Structure 1
Amino acid sequence: MSRRELIDPEVRVPLDQLLEAMPGGFNAIGDIVQRRAAVEALLGAIEVPENPDVVKEDRTVPGPQGEPDISVRIYRPRDAAAPLPGIYFIHGGGMILGTVAGEDPTATLLCDQVGAVVVSVEYRLAPEHPHPAPAEDCYAGLQWTAAHAAELGIDPDRLAIYGGSAGGGLAIATALMARDRGGPALRFMMPIYPMIDDRNGTASSHEITDIGIWDRDGNAEAWAWYLGGKPADQYAAPSRAEDLSGLPPAFIDVGTVDLFRDEDIAFAQRLMAAGVPTELHVHPGSYHAAETFAAEAALARRTWALRVDALKRALA
């Protein structure tokens, strides 16, 4: 049976439309600059109305020591009384794609539905900037967020970190850095279908080869660009971390038709074994980022309801 046949029929519609418009999917575009432009054009064509209940602000903040400054976008619930919980947000894109603007709808949703101040970081991308640049940018942004919590209206004791795909991997890497470098303190982490294992050796990484969204070949290419010819450490590929103790409580979700399925399930099990309270959801029929491509589908609504509920509980 083709893996495409296992996809929930409702969320398969936009995937089929994507492949009709772009045969082979994004990874068929060899030039990374052109690929980024194609992704941004697709996201830009999706009309998302502005949420009047969310106020946005862009800032430039210090990057890692000796490196360029970084940009962050801050989302605040309008007229909400501070201090509020905080969510440090890391966008996805396989370490090679993606922008803060591209995930503006998701950050806005979290701000509105969780009632939190969201700080979304614009980190450098591979292959121009391989590891450790993206992870160090994310850590620098977290340090700034925690140091300016009072100014941002964030309760420093209720700070979570969130990211999807590459953003999920970077969220775990940033949490590992925070643990190993003495802070900032994190109440919770929510890595969504995180990209965490450069070895590409799980059963699901061999199964997902032709659905058009983050297939095996594209994953291998992205890891090669991200590592830049150097071996992976735990901050590049968190699956390689030997010690997971001391990480914040976690929520992980992934689909059954997602290349990252098995590495994410294994990582959640290791978190549990290390004594980290962990909630894991595996969504039948869901491919990578299906809830974004098919935002109105029942599967997407169930997925988001679980995430928002978990964040509310963790940050109460």
Structure 2
Amino acid sequence: MVQLAYQDPATWLELGQPDPILEEIAQGAGKPQLEKRPDISSVVATRAAWAPVFKDFAEAAVARSNGSVTSTDIDIPRRDGGSCRALLYKPEDGKDGGRPLVVFIHGGGFVYGLPEMEAGLAVAAVQEYQCVALCLSYRLAPEHKFPTATDDCWDALKWITQNAARLGVDLSKGFVLGGTSAGGSIVTALSHLARDEKVYPPLTGLYLNVPLLLAPEAVRPEQQPLYRSREQNAYAPVLNKAFMDMYTAACDPDDLQNSYLWSPFNWPGGPGKAHAGLPPTYFQICGLDPLRDEALIYERVLRTEYKTPTRVDIYPGLPHMFVPNFPTHPSSKKYPKDALRGIGWLLNKGEQDTV
């Protein structure tokens, strides 16, 4: 198979050259649509401002389905006796049971976010593939320090395997786990936990959307030559070093250098074992994103060292989470279409060639 451009690390820095159309939009529109500030004191106000925007977005996604998709709020129990809210999307066709499941975990740096953020893709997947989709929530920092978010989602994943009939799914027909940004970090950690603890039925696919995978403090010498986007894109729009520093301070992980939950790229096990046995994985990666290279390095390791089927869509010159922040950019229409095709590839268990 012909090597694609992103498979050559020599091309990665070129991906960080700002997109000229984005620069024109930014100059004309000013600040991104979802404004935030890189200080912990502003987190609560930002959450309050974002919540109605994404709830309206989720309601509109269901409305566009013209009655073909239903939405239900459910509560998933946690280990501490509390519960986390989730959104369950199902086809409205009178049939129940036997469908594959796609689970989505939202992003927001572990400090922002709600399950409605993933509603657009969830509803589209239900319509296109007649699956069931479940969008999870988790407790946020700084009120709940790391790894509370990962723990909450791990509890949810185990609950799902025990309540498949209640959800109307057959996990043996498809059990896909997807996440955006911080949610992608959680997904990567959960995929390893599920493998190590032999969760059954096993996950059949992973969707990593601009994932956070490797903290600067945890970079190993062999990774360092390819780990350049944190520096190259330190002042990028939407996500940059100032926000990454704020998220880290809010989460306050115990051990930045050695925590494999915080940097799941460095999962223990050693060469040939750390990432063995993981399911096909689909990546969406942005070129102007500080997180670009950790995703590209991880994909490269999965593909070349573990022969894991992978699929990649990459967006040169565009920043982290550009779609909701710059919705008029032409690629903001392409991005969700790519994501939907990627979910379809995962539901087919990655049987096509790596692309």
Shift of 1:257: 0.8
Identity %: 22
Determine whether 1:205 maps to 2:230.
yes
Q: Distance in 2 between matches of 1:197 and 1:92?
A: 16
Match of 1:48, as an amino acid?
A: A
1:40 to 27, 33, 51: 51
Matched, 1:176 2:192: yes
Counterpart of 1:72 in structure 2 is 86
What is the TM-score of this pair, normalised by structure 1?
A: 0.87
CA distance in 2, matches of 1:87, 1:21: 28
SS at match of 2:86: strand
Query: Which structure 1 segments of 5+ residues have no match?
Result: none
In 1, distance between residues paired with 2:169 and 2:243? 38
Cα distance in 1 between the residues matched to 2:309 and 2:28: 38
Task: Indicate how the Cα distance of structure 1 residues 12 and 215 shifts in structure 2: closer, same or farther if over 3 A, else same.
Answer: farther
Once the two structures are TM-superposed, the CA of residue 10 in structure 1 deviates from its matched residue by 5.5
After TM superposition, list the pairs within 5 Å mapping 1:39-188 onto structure 2.
39-40=50-51, 43=54, 48=60, 50=63, 51=65, 52-63=67-78, 65-79=79-93, 81=95, 82-157=97-172, 158-184=174-200, 185-188=202-205
For structure 2, the 5+ residue unaligned runs are 1-14, 220-226, 269-273, 349-355
Higher strand share: 1
Say which of 251, 263, 287 aligns to 1:237.
263
- 1:217 corresponds, among 208, 217, 242, to 242
Preserved contact between residue 26 and residue 32 of structure 2 (Cα < 8 Å): no
RMSD, aligned α-carbons: 2.7
Match of 2:322 in 1: 290
User: For the Cα contact (< 8 Å) 2:87–2:134, is it kept in 1?
Assistant: yes
Q: What is residue 296 of structure 2 aligned with on the other side?
A: 265
User: Structure 2 vs 1, CA of residues 250 and 8 (structure 1 numbering), >3 Å: closer, same or farther?
Assistant: farther
Structure 1 distance, partners of 2:264, 2:31, is 31
Other-structure match for 2:271: none
Shift in Å, 1:229? 4.2
Q: Measure the CA separation in 2 of the matches of 1:154 and 1:14.
A: 43
Q: How many residues are aligned here?
A: 311
d(CA) in 2 for partners of 1:221, 1:45: 28
Query: Secondary structure, in 3 states, of the residue corresponding to 2:276?
Result: coil
> Between Structure 1 and Structure 2, whose CA radius of gyration is higher?
2
SS at 1:285 equivalent:
coil
Cα distance in 2 for residues equivalent to 1:240 and 1:211: 26
**Which segment drifts farther, 105-114 or 146-155?**
105-114
Contact conserved, 2:213 with 2:294, CA < 8 A, in 1? Answer: yes
